[in-house]
Chains A and B, each alone.
Chain A
Amino acid sequence: MIESVLVANRGEIALRVIRGARELGIRTVAVFSEPDRGAPHVVHADEAYPIGPARSADSYLNIGRLLEVARRAGVRAIHPGYGFLAERADFAAAVTDAGFVFVGPAAETIRAMGDKTEARRRMEAAGVPVVPGTSTPLASGREARRVAEEVEFPVVLKAAAGGGGKGMRVVRDPEEAAGAFRAAMREAEAAFGDGRVYVERFLERPRHIEVQLCGDAHGNIVHLFERECSIQRRHQKLIEESPSALLGEEERRRMGEAAVRAARAVDYEGAGTVEFLYQDGEFFFLEMNTRLQVEHPVTEMVTGIDLVEWQFRVAAGEALPMRQRDIPLEGHAIECRITSESPFDGFLPATGVVGELELPGGPGVRWDGGIARGTEVGLHYDPLLGKLIAHGADRETAIRRMRGALRELRIAGVATSAPLLSLIMGERDFRAGRISTRYLEEHPELFRDEIPASTRTALVAAAALMEHTTRPGRAPPRIRRTPTPLSQWARGVAVTDPPRPNGP
């Protein structure tokens, strides 16, 4: 087994990898940028070293600096997490060339699947269905328009180097094609340093269903069933679940087999995900993610398998611990992404200091987080603060547990997506499993943010009492300067008298 690992990441995923490594007795080395000095992934690692200033390009994306720290700390392996360098073939190659084990697939596999046009070609050759579109990048706005007309509107422009919705543009009108092409190129260039863009037919009401895979160095590849990730906003997933509420046994088997075929086409080693779009009984290959996914915990909850553990075992050259027929699928799991965004304010990125952090508990509830009280949430990095996962015997139970967990979760000081997620958990179509990637557009009522009268009353009372008890210098008007109950705030006891059940 690998004896030590450098985790080339931050936030919740760095902590998740550290936990997985620790279970296997692997020594953990964290890295941190200047503002992350006090972050949980630093606090919980066995060792931690600085890698530069806040800007990702100067720290978490600085390959030379990461390798230098890995050498100095004397680690055997490097785990990239997701995001940052996880899908950069040059990083995987540099890690291997420097004599370390890369916890992930071969650089060649990342390159092939990271180039979305190349991936499309390979999948077509392997007999995996793909969405109609081009397999070569577009040269100009004019070409974008011409090709889009061939494929038929609406189309979607996508970054060849892309993922996560960045650099993506849906085009419904030929007149918009050239402008959208330029915007997509600009965003792709900014996000990936690669402005190549290609085109696919846009499916109107698809569901996003993906299959978790794992392969080893001995030619074994298994799938760990599907995850449904249809609740998205601008291609950013908000809620994921496993299994899909939609698929029957037969479709589940067909999709699993197609995913394994896709993985075989590139001799896949390690954990990966094949994403499909599903519409009207048909599914199409969307892309393959050659890394651990944000939403991997829902798969872990329904299979009982620790995917990070499997990643380490495969990286160490071991065979997969289980065969396909032995992998269980038990109950239902849901994940909610808690991000620092204001859902009722157009999802504007929110900043602040986490002033209060209370985490839910109870049966079937899991929190994978990367924040602590005092964590400063800025704009340097991804807005994901943590993930709340609920597991139950069936979908209904998992939803009920998630509702309870969201109620218990308290993150104060920075706005989060949690209130919207709570509303979705109670919404009728979601509960019935009637969802698609257009769910949020089709439910504008969720964003009306109506504040119940009881909540308003509580806010008014709290505001008045806070002001009343903390007015500096003098007692509030018309109240005598008496020691109780007005000064009780200072002593950490009741500000006003304790409640009397039968009234005063």
Chain B
Amino acid sequence: MTHSNAAPGSGARYVVTLLGGRHDVEVRPDGTVVIDGRAVHASLVSTNPAHSAGRGRPSGSGTGCSLLLDGTSFALWARGGRGGAWELELDGRAVSAEVLDPRAHRVRRLSAKAGAGAKLAPLKAPMPGLVVQVAVDEGQVVAAGDTLLIVEAMKMENELRAPAAATVKRLLASPGDAVEKGQVLVEFSEVDER
């Protein structure tokens, strides 16, 4: 918005959150998209005829898209859309994006703040696998980088380490357990500084 080259328009406004940044976007009926105050000409088409046949969100295996931004060509892939949550891929990089209208964005930010205050996020399984070893006990104080568990996936052992100094509050997995991606394995509490 510092070097705005687009006069305020009557397009649809969105707040796009991706890669840790917030962007204000206006989509105008004439094909102009204003991103953080900078206007570009945008054209987006689906390159997957199966998807184009019906209106709606490309869930399931998603759809390929071609984006032209002021003539520069980008080959993308998109999936999702529920609640404004999109998964996009560009140059082999997968990115999650949240697209909300400004009011919904404000509401979501306020409710997120209300739930804040939690300290250390629990350790979750980064992939499905088999727990082969648990290296800590409940109540144990660990330093950042300490090995907590070893999870085997694809016949390779993956050491899961402590993200920060903490006390192990609860252990939710034992050797031999098959765990799913995202399953909570360890809960932490803050180190008692006495």
Question: B-contacting residues of A (Cβ < 8 Å)?
Answer: 166, 183, 186-187, 190-191, 234, 342, 344-346, 348-349, 351, 353-356, 358, 373-374, 379, 382-383, 410-413, 415-416, 418-419, 422, 449, 451, 454-470, 472, 476-479, 482, 485-487, 489-501, 503-504
Contact = CB atoms under 8 A, between A and B. Distances in A.
Contacts of A468: 12, 14, 27
Given A379-B128, A499-B68, A462 B75 contact: no
A346 to B, nearest CB: 8
Given A356-B62, A487-B55, A491-B52, A479 B99 contact: no
A459 B65 CA distance: 12
Contacts of A463: 16, 18, 86, 88, 97, 99
A462 B78 contact: yes
B183 interface: no
A152 to B, nearest CB: 26
Contact of A458 (B71, B90, B127): B90
Contacts of B57: 470, 472
Contacts of B13: 477-478
Contact of B155 (A166, A358, A462, A482): A166
Nearest to A487: B55
B89 A412 contact: yes
B27 A356 contact: no
A166 to B, nearest CB: 6
Nearest to B153: A349
A460 B101 contact: no
B29 interface: yes
Given A462-B74, A472-B57, A478 B23 contact: no
Contact of A457 (B11, B35, B44, B61): B35
Contacts, number: 229
B153 A461 contact: no
Chain B, interface size category, equals: 35 or more
B43 A499 contact: yes
B42 A492 contact: no
Contact of B72 (A190, A454, A486, A501): A454
A187 to B, nearest CB: 6
Given A466-B99, A472-B57, A496-B43, 7 more contacts: A346-B126, A356-B61, A410-B75, A464-B16, A464-B35, A494-B44, A500-B41
Contact of A413 (B45, B69, B79): B79
Q: Which of A374, A458, A470 has its CB near the most chain B CB atoms (within 10 A)?
A: A458
B58 to A, nearest CB: 8
A493 B154 CA distance: 42
Given A355-B63, A466-B78, A494-B43, A457 B91 contact: no
Nearest to A456: B19
Interface of B: 10-14, 16, 18-19, 21, 23, 25, 27, 29-33, 35, 40-46, 48-49, 52-58, 60-65, 67-72, 74-79, 81, 84, 86, 88-95, 97, 99, 101, 126-129, 132, 152-158, 181
29 contacts: A187-B157, A348-B126, A348-B158, A355-B60, A355-B63, A379-B154, A412-B62, A422-B92, A455-B91, A456-B19, A458-B67, A459-B18, A460-B16, A464-B99, A465-B27, A466-B88, A468-B14, A472-B57, A478-B11, A478-B13, A485-B29, A485-B31, A489-B52, A489-B55, A492-B52, A496-B44, A499-B68, A500-B41, A501-B71
A457 B127 CA distance: 30
Contacts of B153: 349, 379
A495 B69 CA distance: 13
Given A478-B10, A487-B55, A496 B42 contact: yes
Given A349-B154, A504-B41, A410 B64 contact: yes
Contacts of A459: 18-19, 76, 88, 90, 95, 97
Nearest to A236: B156
Contacts of A495: 43-45
Q: Choose among B41, B63, B89, B157 the residue with the greatest number of A CB atoms under 10 Å from its CB.
A: B89
B126 A356 contact: no
A446 B128 CA distance: 27
Nearest to B80: A466
Contacts of B14: 464, 467-468
Given A456-B21, A500-B41, A419 B91 contact: yes
A416 B18 contact: no
B128 to A, nearest CB: 6
B11 to A, nearest CB: 7
B35 A462 contact: no
Given A458-B90, A492-B46, A470 B81 contact: yes
A479 B69 contact: no
